[in-house]
Amino acid sequence: MSLADKYFIENCRDIIEHGSWDTNSEVRPRWEDGTPAHTVKKFCVVNRYNLQEEFPVMTLRRIYYRSAIEEILWIYQKKSNRVADLSTHIWDSWADENGTIGKAYGWQLGQKSIYPEGEFDQVDKVLYDLSHNPASRRIMTNMYNHKDLHEMGLAPCAYSMTFNVTGDTLNAILNQRSQDMLTANNWNVCQYAALLIMFAKASGLKAGELVHVIADAHIYDRHIDAVKRIIEKEPYPAPEMVVEDITDFYKFTKNSFTLKDYKYHDFDEKIEVAI
């Protein structure tokens, strides 16, 4: 069984059986028909994935991991806010009249600041420190910029990464303020695991632990039945992830990653997304 499957089953069962409903609260998200999209949630879910043991992809349903990796490259490598720079259309509903998501996600990472070592954007400062100052406890990115929130199509959900080097191993903590468990949980895990691998390879390090901290882990009311059907399936063994031997972070593509023997359960249900 993939560890990603194990965590997904445990987390979702805990949320459904012991979570708190916001049915009596005013909520921002809406379904396509305008109905409030309520959730059942748990506060502060923490999962740890050791990338030296396996790549954390679910088998309970198919995860389009290359699309997930393309999105993280759009954010961290292209530092883009233009939805046309993605081949998928997952961000289209958040785009403005100019086809951007405003000063969100990749735009924030691309803004440069002055440091004692010179001028860097957030991504290049991480890469510099991993190579030149790996003992630092200040290697991190943060996209939750309060002064720009009013100009963002969506306030960042997965908003910060804290990197920590131990010996020859790169570990990281992903902080996420909010997560839709059905549509985004393993998607985010896969893409940030891939990001950790890319930063490690670009810095001559091994990829170690990815710790995923979710402040508000929730399941939407219209997703409950689908989640129940998914977690009753019998998981397959974790597949092997093969990554091209690339040492320049900016040379990675979504096709640099290939899952070998990836077996998964079909899940063809149309899932409504709350906006």
Give tens-digit pLDDT for 124-156: 999 999 999 999 999 999 999 999 999 999 999
Q: Which uninterrupted H or E stretch holds 8?
A: helix 3-18
Assign 80 a pLDDT band (cuts: 50, 70, 90).
very high
Q: Which uninterrupted H or E stretch holds 220?
A: strand 206-220
Q: For residues 239-257, give the mean pLDDT.
A: 98
Tell whether residue 69 is among the known ligand binding residues: no
User: Would you state the pLDDT for residue 268?
Assistant: 82
* Single-letter amino acid code for the residue at 160: S
- Considering the four listed CATH numbers 3.30.572.10, 3.40.190.10, 3.30.70.380, 3.30.70.260, the one that applies to the domain covering 3-260 is 3.30.572.10
Contacts of 11 (CB under 8 A, 6+ apart): 42, 45, 47, 181, 185, 217
Q: For residues 27-39, give the mean pLDDT.
A: 96
Tell whether residue 13 is among the known ligand binding residues: no
Tell whether residue 61 is among the known ligand binding residues: no
User: Would you state the pLDDT for residue 208?
Assistant: 98
Assign 88 a pLDDT band (cuts: 50, 70, 90).
very high
Q: Which uninterrupted H or E stretch holds 82?
A: none
User: Where do we find the tokens 């990749």?
Assistant: 106
Among 180, 190, 149, 195, which Cα is nearest to 59's?
A: 190
How confident is the model over 148-177, as pLDDT tens digits?
999 999 999 999 999 999 999 999 999 999
Q: For residues 6-31, give the mean pLDDT.
A: 97
Percentage of the chain exceeding pLDDT 90: 98
Tell whether residue 218 is among the known ligand binding residues: yes
- The beta strands (E) that lie in 96-205 are given as 112-115, 118-121, 140-142, 158-166, 169-176, 179-180
Contacts of 180 (CB under 8 A, 6+ apart): 218, 219, 220, 223, 274
Active site residues: 157
User: Would you state the pLDDT for residue 259?
Assistant: 98
Evaluate if residue 212 carries a pLDDT over 90: yes
User: Would you state the pLDDT for residue 178?
Assistant: 98
Assign 66 a pLDDT band (cuts: 50, 70, 90).
very high
Evaluate if residue 250 carries a pLDDT over 90: yes
Mean pLDDT score of the chain: 97
Evaluate if residue 14 carries a pLDDT over 90: yes
How confident is the model over 178-201, as pLDDT tens digits?
999 999 999 999 999 999 999 999
Q: Which two tokens stand for residue 268?
A: 């063809």
User: Would you state the pLDDT for residue 269?
Assistant: 85
Tell whether residue 20 is among the known ligand binding residues: no
Tell whether residue 222 is among the known ligand binding residues: no
Tell whether residue 188 is among the known ligand binding residues: yes
